[in-house]
Chains A and B, each alone.
Chain A
């Protein structure tokens, strides 16, 4: 379906209108809270103030540079995590020996939250930039590896037997059965990993640097520009949403059988 047609259809849907009700109520009560200085909640800048701040920010180069910097960190960390994580996950999934050797190490490292790595990686890596990319990488890496390993373990033995019965070689079974069969879990791992990456990068930017969307938000706090905090929060939320949506989109392209059921 062309995007315009889908859009008009979505706009006409009852679900959308219902969704708009809650959104509208949310913003109205938020605005009212701020206007009437309701205790605690009133401290948050009103939507109108946030809008004004946003209007001010989107014409500034600084705002967009923050986007760019954060995106670059995310992308670098995420891509490196895929480059190392996907083959490792596949190896661990296919070779029991490799799994028995490597998996305990992964199980020990994995529960350490990526953010707990920030101090040690700042010490370890020569630049703040590298340490942030490193923690971003960690955020996506374990998720991807584990999802692939689990995805492969969950492949129904019927498919493997059917392929063997039809005369497949081991190599063939790898490329034409195991790989596509585990692809959906690889994509889930990527989508979840992307979400974690944003959590990690934002926190790392608040701690270890003075650039990026995380720092922009933090600066709002430090400089007392409270509307800027909210602008930063919303921008981060939007960025996370867009990158996850992008991965899902790309994923659908590679798994056409999932969308057609």
Chain B
């Protein structure tokens, strides 16, 4: 909602050190994400994309470098970011609480932050579910609905908090192709309505270009930014875009960059064997 949300990652470095076996996951990775930008990060498996997301979310500490949110230091070595509702994460396998109904899940954020009373949060959650077309599942438990519905409900839960930044870690990975299309449309509508800054991780190049304002291609581990693609396709977008020339051009460009890194990752993997 034009309330900031610019992220600067400056020379972020992360070394995992379980049992002394040092693994460099992020190597002086820098990127600038503008407020309200829909940034999509693609890169080979295990390249450190999630490490970067976790550092922004506040689940991990950086070894060197820093991350700023709207010019304020968010995370630096020794001072990890605190997880908070200005940066909400939607997880790869989904993390709706199974013991709460969808309505209770969606109302969770404002209640946890003590920003609303129970009836207020309920009412807002109902309204949010209504605008997102999810009214029918309000009283269901997550275990009772499809994975596509669950993912949408989780996005609704995140948007209830009006976050500056929405962090999505391969949220649609487990969905089938058709459900994915619906989920994309859904996310686009949510994004167009609230314009949060989005940090979206995926392997799927079609998904990346279809959704993104900017695609960041990461190198294989240790990760840094290899290439940035500006996706200037007009919004609101729909699936007819996939046939456009501009789209094809972007995809080819993206593919070339990703392919190079994937091959590197593959041969590195073979060496490690």
Chain A residues proximal to chain B, CB less than 8 Å:
156, 158-159, 161-169, 172, 176-177, 180-181, 183, 255-257, 260-261
Contacts and interface: CB of A to CB of B under 8 A. Distances in A.
26 contacts: A156-B95, A158-B91, A159-B97, A161-B59, A161-B83, A162-B97, A163-B97, A165-B58, A165-B84, A166-B85, A166-B88, A166-B113, A166-B158, A167-B85, A167-B161, A172-B112, A176-B97, A176-B112, A180-B97, A181-B97, A257-B98, A257-B99, A257-B143, A260-B141, A261-B141, A261-B144
Question: Which 7 pairs between the two chains have the least Cβ-Cβ distance?
Answer: A167-B85, A164-B83, A261-B143, A162-B95, A167-B113, A180-B99, A158-B95
Given A176-B112, A180-B99, A181-B99, A162 B89 contact: yes
Nearest to B54: A161
A232 B140 CA distance: 46
B93 interface: yes
A165 B97 contact: no
Contacts of B152: none
Interface in B56-79: 57-59
B157 interface: yes
A182 to B, nearest CB: 10
B141 A166 contact: no
Given A161-B59, A260-B144, A166 B99 contact: no
Nearest to A254: B99
Contact of A165 (B87, B99, B142): B87
Contact of B99 (A168, A169, A255): A255
Contacts of A164: 58, 83
A165 B98 contact: no
Nearest to B84: A167
A260 B112 contact: no
B106 to A, nearest CB: 10
A166 B98 contact: no
Contacts of B141: 256-257, 260-261
Interface in B114-168: 140-144, 157-158, 161
Nearest to A181: B99
Contacts of A255: 99
Contacts of B89: 161-162, 165
Given A167-B161, A257-B99, A158 B112 contact: no
Contacts of A261: 141, 143-144
A257 B143 CA distance: 7
Contacts of B91: 158, 161-162
A261 to B, nearest CB: 4
A166 B161 contact: yes
A261 B57 CA distance: 31
A156 B95 CA distance: 9
A166 B58 contact: no
A257 B97 CA distance: 10
Interface in B154-198: 157-158, 161
Contacts of A159: 95, 97
B35 interface: no
B38 interface: no
A226 B214 CA distance: 84
B112 A168 contact: yes
B99 to A, nearest CB: 4
B216 interface: no
Nearest to B89: A165
B109 interface: yes
A176 B95 CA distance: 14
B200 interface: no
B199 interface: no
B144 A167 contact: no
B99 A183 contact: yes
Nearest to A256: B141
Contact of A169 (B95, B112, B142, B143): B112
Nearest to B143: A261
A163 B91 CA distance: 12
Contacts of A163: 97, 108, 112
